[in-house]
A and B are shown apart, each in its own frame.
Chain A
Amino acid sequence: MSLRYLASRLVQGLFVLWVAFTLSFFLLYWLPGDPIIAMLGAGGELQSYDSAEVARLRAEFHLDQPLIVQYLFALGDLLCFDLGTSIQAGTPVTEAIATALPSTLALAASALVIALVVGTAIAVAATLTRRPWLRDTLAALPGLGVALPTFWVGLMLLQIFSFRLPLLPAVGTGSPAAIVLPAVTLAIPLSAIIAQVLFRSLQNAWIHPFVTTFRASGYTRLRLLLRQALPVALLPALTMGGVLFGQALAGSVVVENVFSRQGLGRLAQTAVAGQDIPLVQGIVLFAAAVFVLVNLITDLSYPLLDPRLRDAGRTVEKKDSGTFAEAAGNEGARP
């Protein structure tokens, strides 16, 4: 892995961030409505407010400037790592994100762990089973998991595990038990993606000739799958890292709202509803940055997992001679 490669990837990442920022800026600008009015609250009757106060706020947020100037102001602030101030809360955007982040991270991490375990288990079981009906059933699960709407699953789980059987708290962020239902809800689409990709990948690895080689060496199916096929099958599944993260973030918007949890998703929802442009932009930018980072890490970890991509100092031995001719006890092919 050369430094040049790393540098070029970082430049690409910065480019992606810039595009994300620009697009979100203009999209938000063209949204109908006036953020200042929204900030001052109430029915949108401009007359009921002090017009001087409105003008002062407009100037403070540079909203009285031409669009391109507003954009350049925002871009300049961004380069100083200043995401601006939330129009609604009046606090810096970075602070708002930092406050919301831990609970979302906890949610996403627990959902990913559940998804990895369940998804892998489904894929492995579907590959391993000799019963066609079981394989078909397991293989159909991921499609179902993706198709179920997250909010509906969340509501169903609430209905069953909080209201009918009061096992788990319905809402809140505080107690550790409160994370179970949101995490499971979020994990369902994630595990579906993992199971689908991994099952596909395992099937491909399973018909690979090397599997036959080792089957003929007396491996059990389970061992063959776990020790030989899985390491190979994981490689294509790894590309899903970025997609999984995106899915987790998008899912958290719904899940955090259904379960009334604090977090990034909830923050995003309120920011969009209140037309809090700096905050929405901050969240978009943050998501894009993490996305870029996850993809970069995925790409960088490939050579660690696949020796074929390693820039090996060892050279491939092209000649079949030397020690071999000795071992075979003949003169070799060369007279």
Chain B
Amino acid sequence: MIHTDLLAWPSAGAGTEVLDGAGAPATDSRLEASTAVESPVGASAADSRLEPMPHENEAVLDVAGLSVTYPGAAAPAISDVDLRFAPGETLAIVGESGSGKSTTAAALTGLLPAGTRVEAATHSHLGEDLTSAKPRTWQRILGTGIAYVPQDAGAGLNPVRTIASALSETLAVNGYAKPQIRPRITEVLSAVGLDFELHGRRHPHELSGGQRQRVLIANAIAARPSLIIADEPTSALDATVAKQVLDVLSSLVAGSQTALVLITHDLGVAKERAAKLLVMQAGRIVEAGPTDRVLAEPRHAYTRSLLAAAPHLGWGRLRPNSGTAVPDPTGTEAVLAGRGLVRDFGGDRPAVNGLDIALRKGATVGIVGESGSGKTTSARILLGADRADAGEITLHGKPVGRYRRKDLGRRIRYVHQDSSAALDPHYSVERILTEPLRGHRIGTRADRPARVRELLDSVALEHSLLTRTPRELSGGQRQRLAIARALAVDPEVIILDEPVSALDVGVQAQILQLLVDLQARLGVAYLFISHDLAVIEQIADDVIVMKDGLAVESGPTARVLHESRHHYTRALIDAVPCFDDSAVRTIAADSGNTAGTAAHTSTTTDSTATAVEPTEPTGANHA
């Protein structure tokens, strides 16, 4: 059960603990904490300290005109950031990568790298001025006053120390005396749904991603901070797990005076969890206000473009830009098909267990599921990068074994999630696109430059990029390049493994549109893997829902999403954070071209599209 007094700040509810005073008046907490540890303070003394609640009307955080310039940078990473919130408030900061969200979080926690210039007209925590706080001051405030939940749960904990030892160290650092540490660990672990006996003695690698993220939350709340700053706490987690973690976080702050800053790229998370919303773009706050108001009546063009680009359930499949109708794939024969595919790595269950799949010309099959469900293993088997322990794979009705290895490599191509890892960092764009042509002896040496330029055109990249290396491209440009490389050899099937998961929503929408356009033009079959149902809905004609290696449900996308028969599919749908209500569609209709009842039109004017990412071409049509 939840301890509503768990954070107990600055209420007197948890007066039983000697150290409660440590959390309240930040100005003298270190001093009081240490004296309290040395000589146990009597109950009356503790009460008298807690009762006045001197900072009740003080803002937990008051920041005005905050700007941060990294060493060596010409322009500030964030500027003129104003923030003010009261105890118990929850605020969400949204924006795309590079918008300054994480820099803001780092500035609020004093975690900026050395040499960074921070300027602020006002910066105070519970009345204590932090405008030019020394490292020592931050060290005192962090943990007891301001706590931080980092983004990456996998790397956020020390791999060689147990959960309990990490938490006890945090408590010791924040002035908890030895006898109080163990009960407090038990308390905070149970608050996040973990058990001291069961989980406390484990190392991080022995916990799941969701459990690790909850340990990080437990670590943050351990010393009863008045403010928790959570930087993308659920971005690395599956939707259902993310929902649980967010539930923990919001229920922890709900009953207490602790304020929460939730930094996220996900508008759905913001809508569900925060009362106030702050939209950042290019280091500035472009819009702020109550979440419902901002999402319903966004005043800034950037907010509107964010809302328009954010994928969410109910949009239906994307239509190609050229206007040609989506070809009806049901009649056509399967290009690549797998029957009864099984792959067993020797765990307690097969990684893939009896998968049936058929990819048709000009159509897309989506595989959706959480991590560990067997999506990527299925893709690798179909690609030929891994063998199947049972089952048969056919290409145009013939077993793949009858094809030459190299021929298969030309007909079936792969696009990786992480484009920066999938492209050779030393190669120029031209060489990256020439390489597959040379490898498969396509065209003559003289023809290839023309073919490379044609490929660039087809993914809407400028010819001026030919001499660049992948590092000199944006994330969206890199993924376009990876797609162009896959297209270079005229494949029949492209397997796309989470191709847009690492991209911002605006870029994501553009890449999806590009894929749909290319498919309509070239008739290539896609296998599209994603953990994101909203993305799958936009691109897939058929969908396979995988869980624990099994295809629990499959069929036409619209049918599966709207009349799901399996409870797991419904759980996936429910877990998608949703800002979807009539307001969103109304806005789209106001600013845009057409909007049917369930239809949605997006990225309408040039100005909003440029706001998303200037270097990327615009366009995303939804049918």
Interface residues of A (CB under 8 A from B): 130, 208-210, 212-221, 223, 227-228, 231-232, 235, 305-308, 312, 314, 316-320, 323-330, 332-335
Instruction: Assess the A218–B223 pair: CB atoms within 8 A.
Output: yes
Q: List the 7 closest pairs (A to B, CB-CB), nearest first.
A: A218-B143, A324-B193, A327-B193, A216-B148, A333-B240, A320-B210, A209-B155
B158 interfacial by beta-carbon distance below 8 Å: yes
CB contact between A316 and one of B150, B162, B206 (< 8 Å): that residue? B206
Residues of A within 8 A of B570 (CB): 335
Residues of B within 8 A of A130 (CB): 114
Interface residues of B (CB under 8 A from A): 1-2, 109, 111, 114, 135, 139-144, 146-148, 150-152, 155-162, 166, 169-170, 173-174, 190-195, 202-203, 205-208, 210-211, 214, 216, 219-220, 222-223, 240-241, 243-244, 247-248, 251, 372, 567-568, 570-571, 574-575
CB contact between A209 and one of B156, B194, B207 (< 8 Å): that residue? B156
Instruction: Assess the A213–B216 pair: CB atoms within 8 A.
Output: yes
Residues of B within 8 A of A318 (CB): 208, 372
Measured CA separation A305–B203 after assembly (Å):
12
Min CB gap A48→B, angstroms: 69
Residues of A within 8 A of B195 (CB): 323
Instruction: Assess the A308–B205 pair: CB atoms within 8 A.
Output: yes
CB contact between A323 and one of B150, B162, B193, B241 (< 8 Å): that residue? B193
Instruction: Assess the B219–A305 pair: CB atoms within 8 A.
Output: no
Min CB gap B193→A, angstroms: 3
Min CB gap B512→A, angstroms: 26
Measured CA separation A227–B165 after assembly (Å):
10
Of all chain B residues, which has the CB nearest A219?
B173
- What are 17 pairs between A and B in contact, CB < 8 Å? A210-B158, A212-B150, A213-B150, A213-B156, A213-B219, A217-B148, A219-B139, A228-B161, A307-B160, A307-B203, A308-B159, A314-B206, A320-B208, A320-B211, A326-B193, A333-B243, A334-B571
CB contact between B244 and one of A213, A314, A324 (< 8 Å): that residue? A324
Instruction: Assess the A218–B144 pair: CB atoms within 8 A.
Output: yes
Instruction: Assess the B142–A218 pair: CB atoms within 8 A.
Output: yes
Question: Are A216 and B251 CB-contacts (below 8 A) given A130-B114, A208-B155, A318-B208?
Answer: no
CB contact between B567 and one of A308, A312, A314, A334 (< 8 Å): that residue? A334
Min CB gap B566→A, angstroms: 11
Instruction: Assess the A232–B152 pair: CB atoms within 8 A.
Output: no
Min CB gap B133→A, angstroms: 13
Measured CA separation A208–B210 after assembly (Å):
20
Measured CA separation A215–B207 after assembly (Å):
22
CB contact between B158 and one of A220, A221, A232, A335 (< 8 Å): that residue? A232
Instruction: Assess the B173–A223 pair: CB atoms within 8 A.
Output: yes
Min CB gap B100→A, angstroms: 18
Of all chain B residues, which has the CB nearest A322?
B193
Measured CA separation A325–B139 after assembly (Å):
34
Measured CA separation A218–B110 after assembly (Å):
11
CB contact between B159 and one of A232, A328, A335 (< 8 Å): that residue? A232
Residues of B within 8 A of A223 (CB): 173
Min CB gap A236→B, angstroms: 12
Min CB gap A104→B, angstroms: 34
Measured CA separation A232–B568 after assembly (Å):
40
Question: Are A216 and B174 CB-contacts (below 8 A) given A209-B152, A210-B158, A335-B571?
Answer: no
Of all chain A residues, which has the CB nearest B248?
A328
Most buried by A among B141, B193, B216, B248: B193
Instruction: Assess the A316–B240 pair: CB atoms within 8 A.
Output: no
Residues of A within 8 A of B567 (CB): 334-335
Question: Are A329 and B157 CB-contacts (below 8 A) given A209-B150, A213-B148, A218-B139?
Answer: no
Residues of A within 8 A of B575 (CB): 333
CB contact between B207 and one of A227, A316, A323, A333 (< 8 Å): that residue? A316
Min CB gap B328→A, angstroms: 34
Measured CA separation A208–B144 after assembly (Å):
23
CB contact between A317 and one of B1, B156, B190, B207 (< 8 Å): that residue? B207
Most buried by B among A210, A235, A306, A312: A210
Measured CA separation A324–B144 after assembly (Å):
25
Residues of B within 8 A of A213 (CB): 148, 150, 156-157, 216, 219
Measured CA separation A323–B210 after assembly (Å):
13
Min CB gap A133→B, angstroms: 14
Measured CA separation A215–B148 after assembly (Å):
9
Instruction: Assess the A216–B111 pair: CB atoms within 8 A.
Output: yes
Instruction: Assess the A325–B142 pair: CB atoms within 8 A.
Output: no
Instruction: Assess the B208–A231 pair: CB atoms within 8 A.
Output: no
Of all chain A residues, which has the CB nearest B238?
A320
Instruction: Assess the B205–A328 pair: CB atoms within 8 A.
Output: no
Measured CA separation A327–B567 after assembly (Å):
22
Min CB gap B253→A, angstroms: 13
Residues of B within 8 A of A217 (CB): 142-143, 147-148, 170, 173-174, 219-220, 222-223
Instruction: Assess the B244–A333 pair: CB atoms within 8 A.
Output: yes
Instruction: Assess the A212–B161 pair: CB atoms within 8 A.
Output: no
Question: Are A323 and B194 CB-contacts (below 8 A) given A213-B150, A216-B147, A329-B1?
Answer: yes
Q: Apart from A217-B174, A217-B223, what 12 extra A-B contacts exist at CB < 8 Å?
A: A208-B155, A209-B156, A210-B157, A210-B159, A213-B148, A213-B219, A215-B142, A218-B143, A218-B174, A228-B169, A327-B192, A334-B567
Residues of A within 8 A of B2 (CB): 327-329
Question: Are A327 and B1 CB-contacts (below 8 A) given A209-B156, A216-B109, A216-B143?
Answer: yes
Question: Are A231 and B158 CB-contacts (below 8 A) given A215-B111, A218-B140, A328-B244?
Answer: yes
Measured CA separation A209–B372 after assembly (Å):
24
Residues of B within 8 A of A329 (CB): 1-2, 247, 251
Measured CA separation A268–B425 after assembly (Å):
51
Measured CA separation A227–B173 after assembly (Å):
11
Residues of B within 8 A of A209 (CB): 150-152, 155-156
CB contact between A307 and one of B159, B223, B243 (< 8 Å): that residue? B159
Instruction: Assess the A214–B160 pair: CB atoms within 8 A.
Output: no
Min CB gap A100→B, angstroms: 40
Measured CA separation A227–B172 after assembly (Å):
12
Instruction: Assess the A305–B211 pair: CB atoms within 8 A.
Output: no
Measured CA separation A335–B570 after assembly (Å):
8
Residues of B within 8 A of A330 (CB): 247
Of all chain A residues, which has the CB nearest B148?
A216
Residues of A within 8 A of B139 (CB): 218-220
Instruction: Assess the B160–A306 pair: CB atoms within 8 A.
Output: yes
Most buried by B among A213, A221, A319: A213
Residues of B within 8 A of A219 (CB): 139, 169-170, 173
Measured CA separation A334–B567 after assembly (Å):
7
Residues of A within 8 A of B148 (CB): 212-213, 216-217
Instruction: Assess the B206–A317 pair: CB atoms within 8 A.
Output: yes
Residues of A within 8 A of B243 (CB): 333
Residues of A within 8 A of B170 (CB): 214, 217-219
Instruction: Assess the B571–A216 pair: CB atoms within 8 A.
Output: no
CB contact between A212 and one of B111, B144, B206 (< 8 Å): that residue? B111
Instruction: Assess the A305–B160 pair: CB atoms within 8 A.
Output: yes
Instruction: Assess the B190–A327 pair: CB atoms within 8 A.
Output: yes
Measured CA separation A215–B241 after assembly (Å):
26
Question: Are A232 and B150 CB-contacts (below 8 A) given A307-B205, A324-B214?
Answer: no
Min CB gap A207→B, angstroms: 10
Of all chain A residues, which has the CB nearest B135?
A221
Measured CA separation A334–B575 after assembly (Å):
9
Residues of A within 8 A of B214 (CB): 324
Min CB gap A52→B, angstroms: 69
Instruction: Assess the B150–A328 pair: CB atoms within 8 A.
Output: no
Measured CA separation A325–B241 after assembly (Å):
11
Of all chain B residues, which has the CB nearest A324?
B193
CB contact between A326 and one of B1, B208, B571 (< 8 Å): that residue? B1
